[in-house]
Every structure is written in C-alpha cells, then in structure tokens.
Amino acid sequence: MPLTFRQVEFLLAVAEAGSTAAASRALNTSQPSVSLAIARCEEVFGQKLFVRIPGRGMELTPFGQHKVAQMHELEKQARWVLSGGEGTPEFLNLGVFSTLGPRYAPQLVRRFMETRPDAEIRILEGDLQTLFDWLSEGRIDVALLYDFGVPSNFAITPLMAAEPYALLPQGHRLARQPAVSVEELAQEPVILMNLPHSRGYFLSLLQNASFPVQVAHETGSIEMLRSMVANGFGAGLLATDLPDGMCYDGNPVVRVPLAGHPPPHQIALAHRGAAVRRPVVQAFTAFAKAFFTRPD
C-alpha cells in the first residue's frame, strides 16, 4: 500500500480541522508529522489536496474534496473489517440540521436501530451549509434537513411538509387570533434565526409586506428565540414543528399559524449518489419515509 492508515487519518484530521496545527493537537502528534503525511498523500495522488491560505489555514481543492470523500468511505470499511464484521457493513453517519435535530433525530435513530440492532448510527449536528460541506467531503452519508438551498448535485428524498408559523408571547394582541398575516407580523419587532439559508427564508416571508421589517434580535438557537419571544423582545418565526408551551425559563410562548398558508418547505433527506447504493442507507431512507408519514 502506498499510504498507511495513519497517513489517511492525518489527512482526514487536517480536512476537518482546517490546519496541520489543529490536526496535530487533535491527534496528539507533532505538526511536522502531519505535514509530512499530507506531502506524502499529495505525492501519491500526484495533485494538490489543499490550498494553503495565509491567515485561514488549509482548504481542500476540488480534487481534495473528492479524495477525502473516498478516504471517509475507506475509513468506514476499515473499521468494519477490523471489527470482525461479516456481510454488508451497517454503519451510517447521519447529519442533522441543528433546528430539526432535537425534534426528530434521536427518536428516528432509536426506532430504526430497534429494527436493525447491528447498525451503528452516528449523529452529527450542523447548519445547512455545514451539512452540504460534510456531504461533499463524505463525512456524512445522509443529512436530515429542510429542502431549501440544497445544491443540485445532491439527491433529495422529501419526508414531510413544514409550514412556517409565528411565535408570540402569551397575552399579545395577535396571539388570540386564529391566524396572523405577514402584514401584521411585519409591524412587530422580529427575532430571526440567523443560520445560513434560514435567515433569508424567514426574511423573504416578511418582505412581501408593505412595512419595513424591524429585526430586533438574531440568534442561532430555537430555545433562545422562544425565550426572547416569551419575554416580550419581539415576535418570532419558525418552521420546526414545536407545540405551545413553556420555555426554559418557565415563561409561555404561543404558536399562531400564518394567514394565507405560505408555500411550505419539505423536511427531507439529502445524500450523494454513491451513498444511496449502500443497503443501510436505503433501509434508513425507507424507514424515515414511513416514520414521517406516521410520526407517532
């Protein structure tokens, strides 16, 4: 073999950490050892795997992204072989969008593993752009996310419609209505999710109104958004299916549908073409479709 498994491990660590220094700390080894491993990998492949950018570390070239995806597959195969497994490898790395993860991923994975007790499922959380990067790099096999902004080179399996709704503090004048219009909501200070793609989506709903949008606060946490709404900092917008109820600090928040039924997005699975051929990915995809059809 022209490369050792240790050199492959160094390569994957640099791809994940973004620098040889960070990779060496993660692997508890010297930085020169990591740099030599990368140089050896590039020598074997005959092409550059990384672009070295001063002040920003190391970024994968398009060729490097392709090779790292293959190396992740090799790593999975090696783990399975060395574990003494027989038959088809039953491992799956599941990426989950951070706002969807707590609502669906643990229960989905638990129920799937009850049907496939030999499967090994690893859950990794990230925002949408991070999930797209992980899919491209082969770090995850499939991602549970919303279907907006998904690059065209990924296959999509729709699972369930997700309609956006307003969040209001208990006692707010709009909280007593059966539905709230974007015109009414745009007149309130708004708290936005500021995750990549999410912010633009929710802003687009409000920008159809004739009033300028008043963004009061932005956050990357659903529970922070819910708590700020409950404490009167503004109105919120979400698409994750969460019921009315108490926030972490004990204050209540009220969910109100948006009038006019804006076009819903889909909760979906995204995956690369090569991953779909693996039986465990096919089984998980089929199970997820049934799970979201009958989530209870």
Lowest mean pLDDT segment, chosen from 67-81, 93-107, 132-146, 168-182:
67-81
Residues 252 and 282 in one domain: no
What secondary structure letter does DSSP report for 264? P
CATH number for the domain spanning 28: value is 1.10.10.10
Q: Are residues 96 and 239 in the same domain?
A: no
Rounded Cα distance between 101 and 105, Å, is 5
Q: Is a pLDDT exceeding 60 seen at residue 159?
A: yes
Domain range enclosing 154: 87-158+266-293
Q: Assess if residue 71 is contained within a domain.
A: no
Residue 118 domain flag:
yes
Q: Are residues 248 and 175 in the same domain?
A: yes
Q: Are residues 134 and 281 in the same domain?
A: yes
Q: For residue 87, what pLDDT is reported?
A: 55
Q: What is the per-residue pLDDT for 114?
A: 93
Output the pLDDT for position 278. 77
The reply to whether 151 and 169 lie within a common domain is: no
pLDDT at 179 over 70: yes
Q: Mind listing the pLDDT tens digit for each residue in 204-235?
A: 888 776 778 889 999 999 999 999 999 999 99
| Tens digits of residue pLDDT in 56-115 | 788 888 888 888 888 887 777 777 666 655 555 578 899 999 888 899 999 999 999 999
Please answer whether residues 102 and 142 qualify as being in contact, where contact means their C-beta atoms are separated by less than 8 angstroms: no
- Please list, in sequence order, all residues whose beta carbon lies within 8 angstroms of the beta carbon of residue 251, skipping any fewer than 6 positions away: 169, 170, 227, 230, 231
Helix, strand counts (H, E) of the chain: 11, 13
**Total tally of structural domains belonging to the chain:** 3
Question: In this predicted structure, what is the pLDDT of residue 234?
Answer: 94
pLDDT given at position 180: 93
Query: Are 246 and 178 in the same domain?
Result: yes
